[in-house]
Amino acid sequence: MVTFFGALLFLILGYVFYSKFIEKVFVVDDNTPTPAYTKRDNLDFIPMSWWKGNLIQLLNIAGLGPIYGAVAGALYGPVAFIWIVVGSIFAGAVHDYFSGMMSMRHGGAQFPSLVGRYLGKHMKLFINGLSLVLMLLVAAAFTAGPAQLISQISPISFMVALGLIFFYFILATILPINRIIGRIYPFLGGILLFMAIAVAVALVFSGKPMPNLTFSNLHPGELPIWPLLMVTISCGAISGFHCTQSPIVACTMKKETDGRKIFYGAMIIEGVIALIWAAAGMTFFSGTEGLAAALAAGGPSGVVNEISISLLGTMGGILAIFGVIILPITTGDTALRSSRMIVTDIMSKFMDMEGKWKILLVTIPLGIPTFFMATIDYTFLWRYVGWTNQVVATVMLWTATVYLLSNFKFHWIAGIPASFMTGVVATYIFYAPEGLNMDYQLSMIIGFCITLVVLLWYAAQIIKYRALKAADAEPNTA
């Protein structure tokens, strides 16, 4: 129990102190009008209060990610707590803050536009495709599960449920953000928080011993911690999907000082949720072997359902079913909305994209492949979401690093986690079954070599911008 509460305390302290340091490095100015006012269109650019922005951001980035991912990551034992805490404070929250604040500073720019500005047009082309693939995969993966559950507990067939969900997706994508998302998301975000807090309180008073901190790998399948844990627990530590969602809320900010509460704050809250569910998974099933057996029998949804009903009774069961249906849908719809905004941003360079019919014409072609992908097995889709997601996160951290370098600011706050995540994704793709499925030691060597090349590029960027700064500092003697 000491380990759990210690981890919780570190997350809170991370927000109280480190978020203020990050804000100080970025340098906020409330006298600068935000895009919500300067580009107001009553569709995407609409001023909203910071607390609504925080809960919308939380629901956009969370869904079932910090629940399912944390439960799966709990198989590694209490070392998962370390990754959740360190990842959330120093990587995930930094990633989310810069993706949101840089978008706001650049007029509500989408993630690929930021990448193009700071990492070049070739990287922008790559990330345009990768971001769209990631969001369509997320939308599909987070739709299949709810549709299956609806068909199991009601007379509605899977395909009809899928159709109803996608009809909602289209509405949420083309309507102004304050019509559906701005009205119901704060309420649903509150339910997500209530569900996690209720589980935590019930767990503390359940009498079951919580695991103590150990750096040992307790995975029953003897899977290596590096780099699998960092991909298994993404939401709740660091997730690339977040940087595709941050611009949605960045377009609604009233002032720059709201960014710390919205972006850094939402990520820390997500970390708390992940911490609670990781602890619940390890504690409720009396260790990682019991958790592994439960996951094999009923999957993540079965584990969540059993924990909720056992700890919270009938109300817990209702919340679990509600969460498993509603929360993924709220992530899927904003994934599709982000896709629409990115494609609209691309097409606006070639033609006028004003008008609801043009927005609808962009949305439908994105929805069709997503609909058919949702008929594919959820676990198969999710395997490919993991690596794609963390590659996007790594690129965003490097984008933030170059932004800080180019503005002669303290770049290490983004550069160090970017380097770490480069090692994760460079190793994972060679070792993972959905990747090249190579020998672990060989994957480690190749991953190290790739990371070294990227670090050499980083060193070259540091030298480049230091030279530019020195040139600017030299007096003009002409």
| DSSP annotation string for 128-163 | HHHHHHHHHHHHHHHHHHHHHHHHHHSS--HHHHHH
Dihedral of CA 277/265/229/137: which sign?
A: positive
In whole angstroms, give the CA distance from residue 98 to residue 47. 20
**What pLDDT is recorded for position 178?**
83
**What pLDDT is recorded for position 478?**
40
Give 442's pLDDT tier (boundaries 50, 70, 90): very high
Token representation of residue 448 = 């190290």
The model's pLDDT over 135-167, given as tens digits with 9 standing for 90+, comes to 777 777 777 777 777 787 778 888 888 888 888
pLDDT at 120 over 60: yes
**What pLDDT is recorded for position 383?**
66
**What pLDDT is recorded for position 128?**
83
The model's pLDDT over 289-324, given as tens digits with 9 standing for 90+, comes to 999 999 999 878 788 888 888 888 877 777 767 777
The model's pLDDT over 263-298, given as tens digits with 9 standing for 90+, comes to 999 999 999 999 999 999 999 999 999 999 999 998
The model's pLDDT over 367-383, given as tens digits with 9 standing for 90+, comes to 677 777 767 665 666 66
**What pLDDT is recorded for position 137?**
77
Provide mean pLDDT across the span 419-426: 97
Token representation of residue 408 = 């002669």
In whole angstroms, give the CA distance from residue 119 to residue 270. 29
Question: Exposed, middle or buried, 216 (CB in 10 Å: 0-12/13-18/19+)?
Answer: exposed
The CATH architecture annotation of domain 2-378 reads: Up-down Bundle (1.20)
Provide mean pLDDT across the span 94-121: 95
**What pLDDT is recorded for position 366?**
67
* Residues making up the chain, counted from first to last: 478
Largest CA distance in the chain: 83
Cis peptide leading into 227, omega within 30 of 0? yes
Dihedral of CA 343/345/348/349: which sign?
A: negative
In whole angstroms, give the CA distance from residue 186 to residue 252. 14
pLDDT at 473 over 90: no
What is the DSSP code string of 76-139? G-THHHHHHHHHIIIIIHHHHHHHHHHHHHTTS--HHHHHHHHH-HHHHHHHHHHHHHHHHHHH
**What pLDDT is recorded for position 302?**
81
Provide mean pLDDT across the span 457-477: 83
Nearest Cα to 241, choosing from 176, 175, 326, 332? 332
In the chain, what is the straight-line distance between the N-terminal and C-terminal CA atoms, in Å?
68
**What pLDDT is recorded for position 40?**
94
Per-range mean pLDDT, top range of 143-157, 174-188, 229-243, 302-316:
229-243
Q: Which residue has the higher pLDDT, 163 or 445?
A: 445
Q: Indicate the average pLDDT of the chain.
A: 87
The model's pLDDT over 57-97, given as tens digits with 9 standing for 90+, comes to 998 888 777 888 899 999 999 999 999 999 999 999 999 99
State the number of CA atoms in the 13 A half-sphere of 15 facing the CB.
20
State the number of CA atoms in the 13 A half-sphere of 383 facing the CB.
10
Domain ranges of the chain: 2-378
